[in-house]
Structure formats: C-alpha cells, structure tokens
C-alpha cells in the first residue's frame, strides 16, 4: 500500500488532545503538538497525515472498547468517530482527484 505523506487539517479541542495523549501512543512532532495544544483552551487545527489519523482512530476504538467507565468509553468512541469521518473525507477527496 502506498502511503500519502501529505498532511490534512484535523480539528481537535484541548480535551480531545488530552484524550489522545492519555490513551494512544504518539511520538515526535505530533506528540509535541498535542501536548502544546492540550494546554490551550479552544479548538485547534492540527496537521496530520492520513496514516496518523487512521492510527489514532484505531487506538481510540480499542481504548473505547476497553474503557472502565461508560462515560470514558463514549468520549473515546466519539473521538474515534470524528477521526474516522476525517479519514473518509480525505479518501473521498483523493479518489475524486484521481478520476
């Protein structure tokens, strides 16, 4: 499978950034960006590759399935849905561009 190194905008609020940091394994620049954004209130636009978005969606789904409380499970599930929606939109754009 050919990966696309292009970055796409992902809107996350400070709480969603913290959820990702606390429930997924992130490295490098993405970890630094999420850490910085989790300390600021509001909605932030973070540039991520399609692979990064897809990986985070998978982590959030797994963590949602194994959460110890219903509330946390729902929050992680909602974040997973948000990230999967972005993946779908990006794939549709890429598919349309190839036509």
DSSP string over 43-80: EEEEEEEHHHHHHHHHHHHHHHHT-SSHHHHHHHHHHH
The model's pTM: 0.86
- Is residue 71 situated within a structural domain? yes
Domain residue limits at 86? 8-98
How high is the pLDDT of residue 2? 55
- Is residue 3 situated within a structural domain? no
Residue 87 has phi, psi (to 5 degrees) of -55, -45
Number of structural domains found in the chain = 1
**3-state DSSP assignment of residue 96:** helix
How high is the pLDDT of residue 1? 46
How high is the pLDDT of residue 3? 60
- Is residue 2 situated within a structural domain? no
pLDDT at 26 over 80: yes
Tens digit of pLDDT for each residue in 30-83?
A: 888 888 888 888 899 999 999 999 999 999 999 999 999 999 999 999 999 999
């Amino acid at each position: 499978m050919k990966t696309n190194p292009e970055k796409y905008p992902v809107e996350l609020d400070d709480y969603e950034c913290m959820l990702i940091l606390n429930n997924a394994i992130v490295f490098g620049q993405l970890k630094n960006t999420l850490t910085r954004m989790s300390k600021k209130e509001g909605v932030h636009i973070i540039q991520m590759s399609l692979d990064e978005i897809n990986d985070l969606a998978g982590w959030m789904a797994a963590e949602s399935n194994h959460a110890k409380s219903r509330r946390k499970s729902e929050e992680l599930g909602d974040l997973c849905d948000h990230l999967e929606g972005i993946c779908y939109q990006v794939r549709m754009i890429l598919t349309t561009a190839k036509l």
